[in-house]
Amino acid sequence: MFLPELQDFGFFDDYVPWLRRQPGQTPDAEYFDHGVNCNSVVARPWDKPEQLHPSHWIGTQAVEWMYRRDPTKPFFLYLSFHRPHPPYDPPRWAFEQYLDIPEYRPVEGNWEHHWDEFRKDGDYQAAFGELPDRTVHRARAGYYGLMAQIDLQINRIKESLVDFGLYDNTIIAFTSDHGEMMGDHHMFRKAVPYEGSARVPFIIADAASQRNSARAVVVDHVVELRDVMPTLLDLAGVDIPDSVDGVSLAPYLRDPARAWRNSSISTPTRTSASTSPASPSRISCCSFGAHAWWKPSRAARKASCGTANWCPGRLSPRCSGTCGTGSPRPLPRHCPRSPAAVRRHWAQPAGYLK
C-alpha cells in the first residue's frame, strides 16, 4: 500500500482493495492498522488472521494464478514480497519462535564517529542511531519471522508447481533489491555498502539440472540485479539482446572458476546522494532508471529537481542536467534537454516517460 501522498502520483496496489472486501474488515482497513509503519524498527505480531497478511496474500495469488494460466504456453511469474521490509509484523507463531535468539550485540567499526552528524538516537524510524537493545532484539525476531513466513509461501508455490507437473521444467530465481543493516554500526535499513545492506541472496533453482548435480554450486562473485534477466533468458534457451548490460550467470554455475567482474555499479538515491556520507559524489538530477513515472499534481509541480533529487512527480523546469557543482552529466535519452522540451512534458497526461 502506498501512502496517500504517493497515491497522488498514481501509486496503488491490489492488496488493500482486496483486504477491505474480506469478512470482518472495515472499508478503510490498511497495512498499518497495527500502528507500525514501513520504516519503523518497532516489531509486533500481525494483527489480523494470517491469511490476510500481505505475504500470505501473494502466495495465494500465485497459486490461484496457476489454475488460471493457459497450460499450453510457457509462463513467467514474478512475485514481489514486500516483507521482510518493515513493518516487522510476522504472524505470532513466526515472531515468537525467534524471541529467544542470542542477545543483540551491534557490529561496530573504528570510524563510527564519522557518522555522528547523522545520528538520531532514540528515533525508531531513523536510518542511523542507537536504540535500546530490547527494541533491536525484537526487530530481529520480527525480521527473521517474516523470512520464515516467506519461506512457507515459497514452499506453497513450489508444491503447486509439483501438483501441476511443472516443477521439473521450471527455473526459480530468488533474490532481493537490498538487505537490512539491523543495527550493525547502529544503522538500519539500506543505502550503504556494508554487508548487511549490500549482500543479498541470489538463488537459482533448476530441478532438471539438480538431478545431474551431487551438490549445489556456490558462485562467490559480485553479482548484480542486472544479471537476473540475462541469466533467466540463457537458462530458458532464449537469445539475450545485445543491449542488455548484465551477464548471464549460467556458465559460471557450471564452472565457478571462470573469470568474473570485481566491481559493481551503484546509483545513489536522492537521500544517499544529498545527505549521506556514503555517497562519494552527487548525481545528475535526471538520473532516473529506465522509466520515470509522473502525474500532474500540486506536489509534483513544487518538487525541486535540483541537486541530486529524484522527483516522484514530473521533471521540474529547473532541471539542468548538471550535478551539484555545475559540472555537466550525460542525460538519459528520456530526459528533456531544453526548456521547450520540459514544457512539452508538463503538458502531457500522466503516464510513464520512456
What local confidence, expressed as pLDDT, does residue 266 receive?
67
Is 77 a domain residue? yes
200 and 282 inside one domain? no
C-alpha cell at 103: 542477545
Dist. CA 28–CA 16, nearest whole Å: 9
Q: Please check the confidence at residue 218 and state whether its pLDDT lies above 80.
A: no
| Residue 205 banded pLDDT, cuts 50, 70, 90 | confident
C-alpha cell at 299: 506536489
State which amino acid sits at residue 116: D
User: Comparing 1-5, 162-166, 194-198, which segment has the lowest mean pLDDT?
Assistant: 1-5
What local confidence, expressed as pLDDT, does residue 267 receive?
64
Tell me how many domains the chain contains: 2
Is 23 a domain residue? no
276 and 152 inside one domain? no
| Residue 186 banded pLDDT, cuts 50, 70, 90 | confident
In angstroms, the first-to-last Cα distance of the chain is 25
Q: Which domain holds residue 36?
A: 31-216
Q: pLDDT tens digits for 328-347?
A: 333 334 444 444 554 555 45
Q: pLDDT tens digits for 131-156?
A: 999 999 999 999 999 999 999 999 99
What local confidence, expressed as pLDDT, does residue 233 receive?
94
Is 231 a domain residue? no
Average pLDDT, the chain: 75
C-alpha cell at 348: 502531457
38 and 169 inside one domain? yes
Dist. CA 285–CA 287, nearest whole Å: 6
- Angle in degrees, CA 222, 178, 122, rounded to 5: 130
Q: Please check the confidence at residue 250 and state whether its pLDDT lies above 80.
A: yes
148 and 291 inside one domain? no
With CA atoms as reference, report the closest residue to 31 among 64, 9, 7, 61.
7
Can you state the angle between helices 54-68 and 133-163, rounded to 10 degrees? 10
Is 19 a domain residue? no
| Residue 43 banded pLDDT, cuts 50, 70, 90 | very high
Rounded to the nearest 5°, which phi and psi values hold at 135?
A: -65, -45
| Residue 211 banded pLDDT, cuts 50, 70, 90 | low
Which strand (E) or helix (H) includes residue 292? strand 292-294
Grid look-up 514481489 returns 80
Is 95 a domain residue? yes
What local confidence, expressed as pLDDT, does residue 328 receive?
35
212 and 271 inside one domain? no
In terms of C-beta density within 10 A (0-12 exposed, 13-18 middle, 19 or more buried), how is residue 47 classed? middle
What value does the mean pLDDT take over residues 182-190? 89
Q: Please check the confidence at residue 294 and state whether its pLDDT lies above 60.
A: no
Q: Please check the confidence at residue 177 and state whether its pLDDT lies above 60.
A: yes
209 SS3 class:
helix
With CA atoms as reference, report the closest residue to 300 among 321, 276, 319, 324.
319
198 and 277 inside one domain? no
Is 257 a domain residue? no
C-alpha cell at 45: 505480531
To the question of pTM greater than 0.75 for the whole model, the response is no
User: What CATH number does residue 130 fall under?
Assistant: 3.40.720.10
End position of a domain, from candidates 189, 216, 243: 216
What local confidence, expressed as pLDDT, does residue 179 receive?
93
Q: Please check the confidence at residue 26 and state whether its pLDDT lies above 60.
A: yes
190 and 290 inside one domain? no
End position of a domain, from candidates 154, 181, 216: 216
42 and 184 inside one domain? yes
Is 16 a domain residue? no
End position of a domain, from candidates 153, 183, 216: 216
Q: Please check the confidence at residue 270 and state whether its pLDDT lies above 80.
A: no
Q: Please check the confidence at residue 9 and state whether its pLDDT lies above 90.
A: no
- Half-sphere CA count of 41, side-chain side, radius 13 A: 28
Dihedral (CA of 163, 166, 167, 171) sign: negative
Dist. CA 79–CA 174, nearest whole Å: 10
190 and 284 inside one domain? no
User: By the 8 A CB rule, do 194 and 184 touch?
Assistant: yes
42 and 145 inside one domain? yes
173 and 62 inside one domain? yes
Is 325 a domain residue? yes
Rounded to the nearest 5°, which phi and psi values hold at 250?
A: -55, -45
316 and 206 inside one domain? no
Q: pLDDT tens digits for 78-121?
A: 999 999 999 999 999 999 999 999 988 877 777 767 778 888 99
Dist. CA 314–CA 347, nearest whole Å: 10
Dist. CA 77–CA 63, nearest whole Å: 11
Torsion of CA 35, 37, 42, 44, to 10 degrees: 50
What local confidence, expressed as pLDDT, does residue 337 receive?
40
